[in-house]
Structure 1
């Protein structure tokens, strides 16, 4: 079981007897440490658009999103410094975690800092910064001394960006 400080609390609302209520208030159970210090918590997922609010789906936790067609994913990620993961990118070579998904990702940096690396260029993100990641090849590189915490809202995309 991961360190309690790495597990987000999840509150789920619903209705009972026609009134709004808190259905669940508990630590997230779907937390996986994919690499030492890299914690991914898949908090909620859907498999339709528009969303059917009465549906709930527990989804296996993967390092890269594995969305159902027309689905969405709400994800909490703690990314440790690259050096703690043993990650280095040789000059002129892509970052070892470079990846591309067929998704539209809304990323919110909650704390720390991290570089968003593209095939051409990169930018430093800090707490409060927002990213709209549109199915492009990218990587995250934490060159600081502290973990970076981010939230990702991941949506299935119909076609790749051209």
Structure 2
């Protein structure tokens, strides 16, 4: 296992606790037996240039066809690459107090489990819903925004699954 100088990343200061969980990936060794292929703290925690105050930590990704023998690190930065249809992204999101992510749409189903904090989810008609630690949010390829008007960071773990749109094309 590689050592982490801290379980937390840094995008500013102590008021910005970006959690860096230990990541253990089980794959196959050269003999075809199950083995630990990664045991580390992914170092790609970073603030999203499009949404200041919002940071992501990619934990793993897969394409539509899983290559169990691959030794490629599935925690590469993914902001520039959309989730492929039937592909997945496993990540953590931290949204600092006072931060906002404007309305956007992803061509995926997103599952978020809120670890701590609270968030306001804004829908395209202006409706808002508040969600707190322990809640689950499912986004089904819809336009949405995030707003954290609260005093503590919002932290969630999520999975995005690339989808075929019911409208013939991905949004």
Offset from partner CA, 1:105-150 (integer Å, 9 cap, x none): 1111111111111123221111111111001010111111100101
1:1-162, aligned counterparts within 5 Å? 2-3=9-10, 5-6=17-18, 7-16=20-29, 17-34=31-48, 37-49=53-65, 51-55=66-70, 56=72, 57-62=74-79, 66-82=82-98, 85=99, 87=100, 97-120=102-125, 121-160=127-166
User: Aligned pair in 2 of structure 1 residues 160, 41: CA closer, same or farther (>3 Å)?
Assistant: farther
Give the length in aligned residue pairs: 149
Does the CA contact (< 8 Å) of 1:135 and 1:160 recur in 2?
no
Unaligned 5+ residue runs, structure 1? 88-95
Residues in 2 aligned to 1:33 and 1:2: alpha-carbon distance in whole angstroms? 10
Query: What is the deviation of 1:68?
Result: 2.9
Does the CA contact (< 8 Å) of 1:108 and 1:150 recur in 2?
yes
Unaligned 5+ residue runs, structure 2? 1-7, 12-16
Return the TM-score normalized by structure 1.
0.77
Match of 1:91 in 2: none
Counting helix residues as a fraction of each chain, which structure ranks higher? 1
User: Aligned pair in 2 of structure 1 residues 119, 37: CA closer, same or farther (>3 Å)?
Assistant: closer
Query: What is the deviation of 1:67?
Result: 1.7
Return the TM-score normalized by structure 2.
0.74
Residues in 1 aligned to 2:52 and 2:164: alpha-carbon distance in whole angstroms? 34
